[in-house]
Amino acid sequence: MDLLKKYKRIIKAVFGVTIALIIFLTVQAIYETDNWKPFDVDFNTKDHIISAYGSLIGGILAFLSILFVLYQVYEQREQILIEKQETENDKKQDLKDRLLLLINYLGTLQKDIISHGKRMEVFYKAEQNKPADMNTIYFNANKNFERVVEMDVLSNFKAFQSFYKNSTEDWQKLFNNLYELAEFYNEAFKDLKKKYQLHINDKVKTLKLISKDMQQFLNGISNLVDDYKKKYGAEDYLNHPWSHIANEYTPAHYAYLEEVQHRGEVPDFRHISDALLMPFIEAAMVIRNEMGFDDLGSRKLVEMASNIRKKIWEVETYSKQYAGDIEKQFTSYFNEGNKNLNELIEIKESIENKIM
């Protein structure tokens, strides 16, 4: 480009000198004519001067036409180079814009990973501390990971190639690691959400069954007391051990339900298992050892209480196992400062340093 401009300046200078030469020769030809007047040329006596002047001027004009053609060629060439440079600049700006968009996505991904990691930590600790409770976690409804994965890989590769061509960094490894991390976290979020939904659905189903069993147990308690009352009369039915422990359980259970309702909470199955069902079973075992089961349904009530405790233990065990899995994933991939997240941040900062 600079060389073309230099050639154009030379042509302009030569053109100027040539014009000056034409003026100079014309003036000299005029001085060769006595009593010169405009449009009064003596072709008879001055033919040799006019012929020589005409030949010289013709040659000079021919030379000027060549210079003009050369100038036009250089002018067109310069315009072509300018357009080519503009195209290259537009292409480079497009590649830069792609990297800026990528940086924006990576910044959002970084925030999403950290914020979701904090929610995971709260969730798995709640599952470990109160595994029978309906602990929940929410997932952001965004597609930033998919957007990174679905970006034109070839264009992004060219963008890295353009801005890292003079760098000592292994940009190809950087590029590959970027897509590996994006694809990993994209699938990790999907897998977490899928497993969470399966866990919650199974837990809700199990807790509903436990609630149903609890209601059947309470109905069985009431039926046993009523049966004793019918069989032994209103004055004597509570003197029988099975009727007595059944009659004591019902008010204790409903008192607890009223208490948690007053606090605006939900019943804690672990409390029901340890503070209500377990004492009932222990008292029942003492009676069984002393006098055995009755024929009004005491055996069935004890079995129901035991099965409810077993189901509560199973849901707690499953929840703790699931919480342990969440804790491992949190520590490895979603905890702020973990290796994978740090690598993602380093890639983002590297790209920023190249284009800013």
Closest of 7, 275, 267, 334 to residue 132, by C-alpha: 267
Task: Say yes or no to pLDDT of 54 above 70.
Answer: no
Residue found under tokens 């034109």: 152
Structural domain harbouring 355: 87-356
Rounded distance between C-alpha atoms, residue 276 and residue 268, angstroms? 11
Q: What is the pTM of this model?
A: 0.73
Whether 285 maps to a domain, the answer reads yes
Task: Say yes or no to pLDDT of 83 above 90.
Answer: no
Whether 82 maps to a domain, the answer reads no
Give the side-chain half-sphere CA count within 13 A for 210.
25
Task: Say yes or no to pLDDT of 229 above 80.
Answer: yes
Whether 355 maps to a domain, the answer reads yes
Whether 96 maps to a domain, the answer reads yes
| pLDDT level of residue 313 (50, 70, 90 thresholds) | very high
Rounded to an integer, the average pLDDT of 73-96 is 75
| pLDDT level of residue 11 (50, 70, 90 thresholds) | low
CA distances from 186 to 100, 113, 145, 148, 195 (A): 20, 11, 5, 9, 15
List of residues 6+ apart from 30 with CB closer than 8 A: 36
Rounded to an integer, the average pLDDT of 155-168 is 84
Whether 75 maps to a domain, the answer reads no
Rounded to an integer, the average pLDDT of 284-299 is 92
Which range among 21-25, 35-39, 101-105, 136-140 shows the weakest confidence by mean pLDDT? Answer: 35-39
pLDDT at 25: 56
Phi, psi of 213 (to 5 degrees): -65, -40
Rounded to an integer, the average pLDDT of 23-40 is 54
| pLDDT level of residue 43 (50, 70, 90 thresholds) | very low
Whether 125 maps to a domain, the answer reads yes
SS3 37: strand
Whether 102 maps to a domain, the answer reads yes
Domain count, the chain: 1
- The DSSP annotation for 199-235 comes to HHHHHHHHHHHHHHHHHHHHHHHHHHHHHHHHHH-TT
Rounded distance between C-alpha atoms, residue 181 and residue 344, angstroms? 7
Q: What is the dihedral of CA 92, 97, 98, 99, to 10 degrees?
A: 90
C-alpha R_g of the chain: 48
